[in-house]
Structure 1
């Protein structure tokens, strides 16, 4: 059955034809910044004082997260840009190499290895958000690879040349048209359509790179997020606060499981998981992760599966930042102080912060405390099978283009320290010899496999083991 092309009247086929013309002409348009002034990225010279400061910060964070014995330092500056985004966001490309200094050494200067083969130089891209007037810096992204296989910034692709075959351009336009129809995309102008087509093309390259390097059975490609830049996707759907380890509240450890983990387990088969929800254009994944956990805990204690209110947390959790992110540990504490959660029916989701409208008499479920899960994946599996779905978090870079299968991105795409999305672990098992975690996401049923993401289990992929937690209901 053929699908007719229907779209907003503002973007008829003639506009897309004009877009095709821009793809074929390939003039100066492709060099323009993705965001026009104000706030456009601009090049930064190596001598810029602010850049020097954030380069030292990035270097320090790299060494803190590395398990190498020796310190690594920036051996060559490649390029940098900065952008005004409620502070200054720096994107830095540098080379890092081994020094002779061990991490434990308290020395002021560290020389590089004189032997080239021992330098083990890496090319790294760092994104740092610096707020000078607050004296704070945040590492948003870190991607490194051996110099012999340099990794480009994920938001850039090789520009096409005038010799690009017409057939290739037509194919690209056809994919973009199908994408717009499938996901009901409406753009307000020809200029915006052109920009989204350019981003779409760049994202196809990123998805191809993920596909080529995936170590599992995942399929990556066009998703409903394919017209968003990495920065737009991160700022709209993800949660950078999760990687700020100094913000995390200490939680008491969960008691170990009484029995070893069975070969497989899925709480969807036992009635403890509500339908997939959609957080919309709001970084409230932390609220969905926590309510999903409490829904499972309440079911196991009381035999009733309730759909609980995420909006209550968005509006009333004073410890977190609503659509700008939050931490599960804070959310549990807020729920205890509030006295519980209302149902989704009584306090429905809007996807933006409102005035708190919590009513004690409408509490549908409560918790008594919360616990932190161990970091060993076998222990996590055993605890899950015995005690219910678990709130977890992970690095979601590969999730923007995930379609199906068991995902196992290379660490360079999925740094376990750069956690930025909270989800719900509902089960585990094995597919065609690949062990997996079954993860309930909060981006709607039209994401992934009916709203679920499957991640390789057993290698701490994407930091899935670092932030497991659960509410406790006595």
Structure 2
């Protein structure tokens, strides 16, 4: 065998071995990554008490989890947008599933038009409010109860309405009471229980019902139930009515929030909203509303980064311990995620 042939054979063998080594190394990295992600998923399951029906469902949920985690980490590693995402308890759900299970403030367009026009005849009581504070946080004023959890029931409308009533009741009486959301879910026939609803309908029910009872007296079940007359007998918080903030007007919303917590409709179903962790949210979302939250304050981060503070009903593991800071004075008059389109507050 000639030296040239020998050298060529050795070169071919070297290249082949090199390629094989790279493939083995690549396979090992992929294997290690999969194992690492599997372990991460199992730890996440244990932390959130997740149990699946069988191995097939666990595999399917693992793949959803992995895709969500990768997308979250890619976002956080990218250019700083002023907010971060986090791997929360919704990490094994696709965005479509998340919307279906956890968004419950849907708006039927035919009804929304009637609700907005009907509210126009009532004057906005805070229209002449001036000299507003640069920052408000009703949590610090003792007018906000701890974060609650709606679970797989689309009852956000009830939680938002209750939070607003808890707020005005504390401001007027000095007593902060945790009121019953389940009473609204079970007894408010104008709304749709776990299938969604409107905070203004909830306020009207509370007026007609001569108030609400406490959470302790009528605890939350996270599902539709039969209205329990005995459970609703003891009314502890009453309102006289409700008002609507002028639509598509963040200045008016600020005037209202400066005086009390306000329930607002919002688009809460997009990926970044689902996995929001901290910072001032400014992500892409729609102006069509499908969720209801309570605005419990506003402020400014840095020199110009204005935000609203919203109380959600997805537990403390979502967002900043259950709250979100979301961009204020957005370019679109509807507000970011449509939060200025339909806002309501109870009166006493």
- Judge same fold: TM > 0.5, yes or no: yes
**Structure 1 counterpart SS, 2:144:** coil
Q: Deviations over 1:18-55 (max 9, x none)?
A: xxxxxxxxxxxxxxxxxxxxxxxxxxxxxxxxxxxxxx
The reply on whether 1:425 has 2:264 as its aligned counterpart is no
TM-score by length of 2: 0.82
Label 1:209 to 1:416 Cα distance change in 2 as closer, same or farther (>3 A).
farther
Offset of residue 240 of structure 1: 5.4
- Taking the aligned partners of 2:39 and 2:314, their CA distance within structure 1 comes to 26
1:333 counterpart = 2:204: yes
Match of 1:148 in 2: none
CA distance in 2 between counterparts of 1:239 and 1:214 reads: 32
Picking from 247, 250, 253, the partner of 2:111 is 247
State which of 268, 271, 280 in structure 2 corresponds to 1:406.
280
Question: Which of 228, 252, 255 matches 1:357?
Answer: 228
Matched, 1:261 2:132: yes
Deviations 1:287-327 (A, max 9, x none): 00001001111112212111111000000010111001111
Render the CA deviation track for 1:84-121: whole Å, top value 9, x for unaligned: xxxxxxxxxxxxxxxxxxxxxxxxxxxxxxxxxxxxxx
C-alpha contact (below 8 Å) 1:253/1:373 kept by paired residues? no
Higher mean alpha-carbon deviation, 193-202 vs 330-339, is at 330-339
Deviation at 1:216, TM superposition (A): 3.9
Of 303, 315, 324, 1:444 maps to 315
Corresponding position: 1:298 with 2:162: no
- Counterpart CA distance in 2 for 1:384 and 1:427 is 6
Please give the secondary structure, in 2, of the residue aligned with 1:391.
strand
1:80-159 equivalences under 5 Å are none
For residues 201 and 123 of structure 2, what CA distance do their matches in structure 1 show? Answer: 16
Q: Which residue of 2 aligns with 1:457?
A: 328
Offset of residue 259 of structure 1: 1.6
> CA 1:289/1:347 → structure 2, altered by over 3 Å: closer, same or farther?
same
Residue segments in structure 1 that go unaligned for 5+ positions in a row: 1-160
Equivalent pairs, count: 307
Report if the CA contact (8 A) 1:215-1:407 is conserved.
no
Residues 150-174 of structure 1 deviation map (CA, whole Å, 9 limit, x = unaligned): xxxxxxxxxxx99983343233223
Distance 1:409 1:253, change over 3 A: farther
The structural deviation recorded for 1:400 is: 1.4
Which of 309, 319, 323 does residue 180 from structure 2 map onto?
Answer: 309
SS at match of 1:322: coil
Q: Indicate the residue corresponding to 1:221 in structure 2.
A: 86
Corresponding residue for 1:471? 346
My pick for the range that moved more, 463-472 or 427-436, is 427-436
Match of 2:18 in 1: none
Q: Structure 1 residue 452: deviation in Å?
A: 0.9
Query: 348, 372, 380: which one pairs with 2:244?
Result: 372
SS in 2 for 1:349: coil
Q: Which has the higher strand share?
A: 1
Change (3 A) 1:268 1:214: farther
Shift in CA distance, 240/393, structure 1 to aligned 2, threshold 3 Å: closer
Where relative contact order (Cα < 8 A, 6+ residues apart) is larger, the structure is: 2
- Give TM-score scaled by structure 1 length: 0.61
Of 185, 192, 195, the match for 2:50: 185
Give the root-mean-square deviation of aligned CA atoms: 2.2
2:72 alignment counterpart:
207
3-state DSSP of counterpart to 2:139: helix
3-state DSSP of counterpart to 2:254: helix
